[in-house]
Structure 1
């Protein structure tokens, strides 16, 4: 079963390919518009994945900061 990071990496790679194809300037207007639209979808999906990961990290930090911490003393 693929990990969520695998899906993100695949979408990011596809987005990079689309950008390179669009920057090359060798596509017809219709093909360029189709690839641009796909790029918008991929960008939104990647942003959603990053937002979800950011929320998870924030939750983990909040959970860990609730634990008692001790000051670091290098002489001990």
Structure 2
């Protein structure tokens, strides 16, 4: 699977398509198993992307390149 070359949004759309196909119940068993496997791969890929995004959002890189935990109470410009 070309997981690394697709975007999160594309993976979510493919996952939604798979879920819709499986929900119809009109898919032969062999195809359903294959779709289920692909869906699980896409789900794991999306979950990983969301975890990566979360890690980036909870850290801020300062001028020296050091990551520091994000604290919304510090550094807020009240004039903004």
More helix by share: 1
1:60-75 to 2 correspondence within 5 Å?
60=60, 62=68, 65=71, 69=75, 72=78
Residue ranges of structure 2 left out of the alignment (5+ in a row): 62-67
More strand by share: 2
Rg larger for: 1
Q: TM-score, with normalisation over the residues of structure 1?
A: 0.74
**May I ask how many residue pairs the two structures share in their alignment?**
67
Residue ranges of structure 1 left out of the alignment (5+ in a row): none
- Kept in 1: contact 2:15–2:42 (CA 8 A): yes
Q: Give 1:60 shift.
A: 2.5
Q: TM-score, with normalisation over the residues of structure 2?
A: 0.70
Runs of 4+ aligned structure 1 residues displaced above 6 Å come to none
